[in-house]
């Protein structure tokens, strides 16, 4: 899977593992944001290097900046009580975030914003209790030390890191407001991508991304999406066979074959 999709070739489905290394180019993120804004009915405008989408209520802004380099976030979600009010919380993404993670992030945000805007902006109406995360102990190790806690992948290439406000650990990215940080940093490449959430960011938004990251299953993706060539040696890519065309109907002189018995899917 090269950096750009092959021209003239049929699109295929592939399984990519581990999913946290299923990188996507920032240009794909911008295209996705553009499509998201159109389908969700958000207003959008562009300038020389950025695309900005605003929610219908005017309290959520998503900005994609093509000029961002290195670890600087190129996609930032900001929430305010109104268009001119100070920022209440922020979620930012940098690097080659898997497009499926970005889709989960924006889809979850839009759905909850439609259902309960005050819950999204202020946390009003949030249900008590903690979210349940299903963690595969064969794929992730839990840690709690030095003022940080979370999970590190067994291969050491990805992490989910929580930093409470009173933590003695140095601020993440030098920003003491960041409470959660999800990242992939392969040994051969260094920083690949990260998503950060500030302290007042909704728990449901953080949970959606963390659950997506911890899921041990491969990512199913179309080859229509460009894939960074530098990451190809680090992942396993399995091509999914195309569905077979329906078989020809038996002739009147040929008895129909008995269908194969259905198998019950295995449960995990």
Confidence of residue 8 (pLDDT cuts 50, 70, 90): very low
Q: What is the pLDDT of residue 134?
A: 83
Tens digit of each residue's pLDDT (9 = 90 or more) over 93-146: 999 999 999 999 999 999 999 999 999 998 876 555 556 778 899 999 999 999
Q: What is the pLDDT of residue 10?
A: 61
Contacts of 57 (CB under 8 A, 6+ apart): 113, 117
Tens digit of each residue's pLDDT (9 = 90 or more) over 174-223: 999 999 999 999 998 999 999 999 999 999 999 999 999 999 999 999 99
Cβ atoms within 10 Å, residue 192: 24
Q: What is the pLDDT of residue 249?
A: 52
Q: What is the pLDDT of residue 71?
A: 86
Beta strands across the sheet bearing 148-153: 43-46, 50-54, 60-65, 75-80, 87-95, 193-198, 178-184, 158-162, 148-153, 140-145
Q: What is the mean pLDDT of residues 212-240?
A: 94
């Amino acid at each position: 899977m090269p950096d750009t999709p092959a021209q003239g070739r049929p699109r295929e489905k592939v399984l990519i593992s581990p999913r946290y290394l299923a990188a996507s180019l920032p240009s794909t993120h911008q295209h996705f944001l553009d499509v998201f804004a159109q389908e969700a009915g958000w207003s959008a405008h562009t300038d020389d290097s950025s695309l900005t989408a605003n929610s219908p209520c005017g309290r959520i802004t998503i900005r994609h900046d093509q000029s961002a380099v290195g670890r600087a976030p190129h996609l930032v979600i900001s929430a305010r009580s109104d268009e001119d009010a100070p920022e209440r919380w922020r979620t930012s993404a940098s690097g080659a975030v898997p497009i499926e993670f970005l889709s989960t992030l924006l889809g979850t945000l839009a759905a909850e914003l439609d259902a309960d805007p005050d819950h999204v902006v202020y946390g009003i109406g949030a249900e008590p209790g903690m979210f349940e995360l299903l963690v595969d102990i064969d794929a992730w190790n839990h840690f709690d030390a030095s003022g940080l806690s979370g999970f590190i992948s067994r291969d050491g290439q990805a992490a989910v890191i929580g930093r409470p406000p009173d933590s003695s650990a140095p601020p993440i990215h030098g920003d003491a407001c960041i409470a959660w940080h999800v990242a992939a940093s392969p040994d051969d490449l260094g920083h690949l991508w990260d998503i950060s959430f500030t302290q007042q960011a909704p728990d449901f938004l953080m949970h959606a991304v963390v659950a997506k990251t911890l899921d041990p299953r491969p990512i199913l993706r179309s080859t229509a999406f460009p894939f960074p060539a530098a990451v190809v040696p680090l992942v396993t890519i399995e091509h999914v066979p195309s569905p077979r065309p329906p078989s020809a109907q038996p002739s009147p002189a040929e008895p129909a074959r008995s269908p194969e018995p259905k198998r019950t899917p295995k449960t995990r």
